[in-house]
Structure 1
């Protein structure tokens, strides 16, 4: 009986009221989006981040999605803001949740143009690295992402 009554109320709310109830009753998350950006030689773009740990300052281009933004568009925006480079987003590599108030999304991306011009507020340095020459101080999670997607690239090239 209670289930039918609840369903009757729910259907009576309709549209935007239903969304408001859902918004108020569920957790809110920020979404961090990372891009594994490669050039024509399959080198990976890494940034030395000003705000990150001095022990692990190197990482992939990363930022937070803004409200209403497609996650792939977040990669394009963040890379352009941090480096001045243009990228095309490829496949979704990873979607992580389970963090307190954060979800993480990672895409592959390829360089399509632009001129390297770092944002000095956030970024100290931007460089292209061969996979077998990744720098010390690279965030462990980003090292794993690079290596895992590189294995996928070599297997695809063999086919």
Structure 2
């Protein structure tokens, strides 16, 4: 076998001789180590190599190599070598980040497999991008945990952009093709809920918040809050009532919802008004957020100047009163599964089966 090399750092090359697998060790850790070889194309080399009675398989394998004093997972992919007896395929260890393909011909990097050394990360990130470009990949998703925050400027320098951030990580993306980026944007909305809870005495459950705008000081309002991640609208409404007032309740319907734009952090806002049925009466105020809470007669609640002067809020109260008088139908929640994703989800709708019912849109 004739193969000229610079230095002696080992890499495994599978060789098939008859039916036996053999491994040769050769220096192959850095570019420019082959003499008499030239890069013919991406993932391709043309060399003067003689392997008597040998052929090379396209076996794919992962190996662990040490870079900058730490073990990193490497993925193998084939390179073509033109020998004197024709073209053969062999594998070279390529430094590629541990990742998996998504359904849109992109890749998602496993954050658990990231190196801890910034120099090692810089090197493997560059070679990974070259590898993914050669394979025709499109979008790259790189999740960097807060413990790897020093990698962020490295990724930015290589062309990555911010996508979104949470408490424990920042998500970055890289669009490979020279065409408009098709990666989805970050979440565009926040979701809030307001709970209209009324008892058999026509009393509304109301609260005064500790922290509010100056113009709303002293206002008695319905319990409100934000829907948590992976939380249903109807369960979020019940939770907020319980947290702020200690009242147990049962979701009835979504009465209406408001859609506003450029609210917090320039995001859009969806605010759902829900009607709930109380299951308890004793109020226990959450003194972290709420100044006071009580059951207030509906008539007194509606007469508040701040409600009478606000067209939006007054209309919401009118709708709730219409629902109580069975002159309006809200949207009840129904749990259904779709064959497209196999997941159980909530569909909000109402069908009046009793034709004699007074519930009708107004």
Give the unaligned 5+ runs of structure 2: 1-101, 109-138, 142-172, 174-181, 328-356
Q: Which residue of 1 aligns with 2:304?
A: 136
The CA distance in 1 between the partners of 2:233 and 2:256, in whole Å, is: 12
Q: Which residue of 2 aligns with 1:152?
A: 323
Q: What do residues 3-22 of structure 1 show as CA deviations (whole Å, max 9, x unaligned)?
A: xxxxxxxx9528x989x898
**In angstroms, what is the RMSD of aligned CA positions?**
2.9
CA-CA distance at 1:27 after TM superposition: 4.4
Residue 104 (structure 2) aligned to one of 10, 13, 22: 13
1:28 matched to 2:188? The reply is: yes
1:127 matched to 2:299? The reply is: no
Q: Which residue of 1 aligns with 2:232?
A: 70
Q: What do residues 42-63 of structure 1 show as CA deviations (whole Å, max 9, x unaligned)?
A: 2111111111224323211000
Distance 1:79 1:13, change over 3 A: same
Q: What do residues 65-95 of structure 1 show as CA deviations (whole Å, max 9, x unaligned)?
A: 0110001111111111101110101111112
The CA distance in 2 between the partners of 1:128 and 1:81, in whole Å, is: 16
**Structure having greater relative contact order (Cα 8 Å, sep ≥ 6):** 1
CA-CA distance at 1:98 after TM superposition: 3.3
- For the pair shown, the structure with the greater C-alpha radius of gyration is 2
Partner SS, residue 13 of structure 1: coil
The CA distance in 2 between the partners of 1:23 and 1:76, in whole Å, is: 36
Instruction: Point out 4+ residue stretches in structure 1 off by more than 4 angstroms.
Output: 20-23
TM-score, normalized by length of structure 1? 0.76
Partner SS, residue 73 of structure 1: helix
How many residues matched?
Answer: 146
Matches within 5 A, 1:81-100: 81-100=243-262
Distance 1:99 1:117, change over 3 A: same
Given that 2:283 and 2:294 are in contact with CA atoms closer than 8 Å, whether structure 1 keeps it comes out as no
1:38 matched to 2:198? The reply is: yes
Residue 242 (structure 2) aligned to one of 80, 95, 102: 80
Question: Between Structure 1 and Structure 2, which shows a larger proportion of strand residues?
Answer: 2
Give the unaligned 5+ runs of structure 1: 1-10
